[in-house]
Amino acid sequence: MSCGYCADLGYTQEGSIATDCTKCKTSDPINPSHYRKGDKEVFDYIIDVTRDLPGDEAVMVGNIIKYISRYRDKHPNPRTDIDKAKWYLNKLRNLLIAKEAQSES
């Protein structure tokens, strides 16, 4: 039986925000709920924060934000995403140390 509300897509579009279908309870596989906090897309926040960063730093900061924002939503064990964020944070720290040392020489 087809969902008449979302046409079996699993989500509906409300303005620029895709939300899970409340009628059939199917979730959007492309844009799951752990990618949103309230009415904000984590992706949009990442773009705002990283827009002016150098590419290598932007990638790491974006991943840190991604993992921290979903750590209680995606995995049964919250430490999974905390450990991933910590890995990127350590990489970012090491990158900044290396850049600092390079600029001093």
Same domain, 75 and 91: yes
Same domain, 27 and 39: no
Tokens of residue 98, six digits: 């290396």
Domain count, the chain: 2
Residue among 40, 42, 62 nearest 50 (CA):
62
The residue range of the domain holding 43 is: 34-104
Same domain, 60 and 94: yes
Say if CB 92 and CB 53 are below 8 A apart.
no
Pairing of strands 17-20, 11-14: antiparallel
Same domain, 75 and 53: yes
Please give the model's pTM, rounded to 2 decimal places.
0.68
**Average pLDDT for consecutive 10-residue bins of the chain (105 residues)?**
62 62 61 66 89 96 94 85 96 97 89
CA distance 79 to 43: 21
Same domain, 20 and 53: no
For 39-60, the DSSP string reads TEEHHHHHHHHHTTS-HHHHHH
